[in-house]
Amino acid sequence: MFHKATKDLAKQLAPDGDLLPVSSLIDQDRFRPLYLVRRKPKRFWMIHHRYYKTGFRLSDILVPGQDSRNLDVQDSHSITVEDCTDGRVEWTIKLPEDFVSTEVTVAASTSQVKSIKVKRAEVSPADLVFLQERKINMDHSFIKDLRKRRENLYVVNEAVQALEETKLQKVNTMEGTILNEIYVRFSLKGTRGSKRVIVIPTDCVLAFRIKPLIIQSESWGISHHPDEETFAADGVTVDSGYSPDGGMGDLEREVEKECAELSQLSTDLRAKFLKSIIAVIINSDLLQELTLKLEEAFEDADKCELKSENPDLEDLLNNLQDSEGSINLDLVGPVLYTLQALGELTEDQLLRLAQSVEKQIVSKQLALVKSILKQDFHLKDAFSLDAKLVSSLQEEELNITKAMIGLGGVTLQRNGPSFTGTGDLAAFSALSALYVALYALHLLSRSD
C-alpha cells in the first residue's frame, strides 16, 4: 500500500520518471539527500531499474577531511496533494508557481489519502563540488565489494518528504468486481469493506532523485548521464542482461536455469509454494513485502531472518530455511526471480493470472505466449497465431487470456476462424515478464 501510494505520487509530480518512489516505509530513512543507493543490472524483461539502499552516506566512503563545514540541504515550498473519494479516488496535485505551473487530476485505486503536504529537500550543488576535494577510500569494504560485483552507485541529491504526519488508508469496497470475486474464491484476507491504515510520519521520504557516482582511482565525480557506470575506468562494462535481439531462445534458457530448483520440488512443497504465490498475486502489499524480504536474504543470508506475521507466507518462508534458520539460497533465488517478474505486471494482469491458475489454464497460456514471443517484433505487420493454441481455450478462458496479453501490449484479433496479433519491441519486454510468471506457475501447479 505504501509503495503504490509513493509510485502514484512520484508519477504525478514527475511524469518523466526521474523521481523514484520509496518502496518500503521501514527503509525510507535510507533515501535522504547524500545517502548512497546501488543499482543491479536488470534483466531485459524488467521495465524499470531497481534501486536498493546501502545504509551509507557519501561522507562514509570518503577519506576523512579536516573541514568542519555543514552541508546545506535546501527545502522548497510545500506541495499539497489532495484526494476526493466517490466510488474511486481522484488525486489533485497543486504545485507552487516556482515549482511547476500546472494542476493534474487523475483517477487512482482504492488507496486513499485525505490530504498530504510534502516538501522537496535537495543538496546544494556547491556542497557536492566542495566534497570532491576529499578522495574516495578505495580500501573501504563496501567499495571493494561493489567493485567486485560491478554494481553502479548513486548519490541521492533530492528527496520528497512528508511535511506532517499523514494517514494512508486502503479500503476495499469494489462490490461485484473481479477483485472481490478472486478474494472470495481463494478465501484470502481483503474482503469487501476491509480497511487498512498506515501512518506516514513527519519528514518521511516518499520519493527521491539520484545522480550516478563516477569513481576513477581515488577521485570521483557526479554524472548527469543516468546510465554511466561507476567503475567504467576499469575497462569492464556491466552486462545489462539479455537483448531482445536474442529472441525467445535467450528467454527460454534464462527461465529454465533460474527456475530449475522449482521443478525439483515435491508435490507437497509445490502446493505450499503455489498457495503463497497466489496470495501475493492477489495482494500487492504481500508481493512487496515478500520481494523485499527475499532480496535482503539473497544479499546477506547470515543477517536476515525470514519471518512474517502473515499466515499466507508462513509455509513458504519456513521451507526456504532449515530448522536452525539457515536460508536455502538455491530456493530463494527462483522464488525471488518469480516475484520480480510478477512485480513487472499490472494489477489487472495479476488478477487475471490468479483466475488463470484457478481455471487451470496456465499451461495453455504459457504455450500461447511462447508462440507470440517467437514472432519478429521488429516488424509492425500483424502475425498469425497457431489456431490449435487459441482453440484450446474456452470462451471465458480466451477472454481472460486476451485481456492479460493485451495489458502487456499485444493485441489479439479474430479473423474468421483464425487469430492474428500485433505488438512492438516494448511489448516484447512486457510479455516476457508474463512468460516468466506463467512458467513458474506452471511448474508449481503441476500435479505429477
pLDDT digits (tens, 9 = 90+) for 184-201: 333 333 333 445 677 888
Residue 441 has pLDDT above 90, yes or no: yes
Q: What per-residue confidence (pLDDT) applies to 347? A: 85
pTM exceeding the 0.85 threshold for the entire prediction: no
C-alpha cell belonging to residue 126 = 556547491
Sign of CA dihedral 255, 261, 264, 267: negative
The answer on 271 and 160 residing in a single domain is: no
Report the candidate in 198, 180, 178, 199 with the shortest Cα–Cα distance to residue 188: 180
Neighbour order of strands in the sheet with 111-113: 111-113, 166-172, 194-200
Summarize pLDDT for 296-352 with one digit per residue, the tens: 887 776 777 788 888 888 888 888 888 777 888 899 999 999 999 998 898 889 999
From 175, 205, 234, the end of a domain falls on: 234
Q: What is the DSSP string of 159-200?
A: EEEESS-EEEEEEE--TTSHHHHHHHHHT-S--TTEEEEEEE
The number of distinct structural domains making up the chain is 2
Lowest mean pLDDT among 5-19, 183-197, 427-441: 183-197
The answer on 263 and 217 residing in a single domain is: no
| Helix, strand, coil shares, percent, the chain, to 5 | 40, 25, 35
> Across 14-23, 127-136, 428-437, which has the greatest mean pLDDT?
428-437
Distance of alpha carbon 256 from the chain centroid? 22
Distance of alpha carbon 305 from the chain centroid? 22
- CB of 174 within 8 A of CB of 180? yes
The answer on 229 and 316 residing in a single domain is: no
- Domain residues for the domain of 138 are 2-234
The answer on 287 and 171 residing in a single domain is: no
Q: What per-residue confidence (pLDDT) applies to 359? A: 92
> Across 74-88, 251-265, 297-311, which has the greatest mean pLDDT?
251-265
From 218, 234, 250, the end of a domain falls on: 234
Q: What per-residue confidence (pLDDT) applies to 116? A: 76
Residue 32 has pLDDT above 60, yes or no: yes
If you search the block for the grid coordinates 512486457, which residue do you land on? 430
Average pLDDT estimate for 95-116: 43
Torsion angle (degrees, nearest 10) of CA 45, 51, 52, 58:
150
Q: Which residue has the higher pLDDT, 12 or 122?
A: 122
Q: What whole-number percentage of the chain has pLDDT above 70?
A: 75
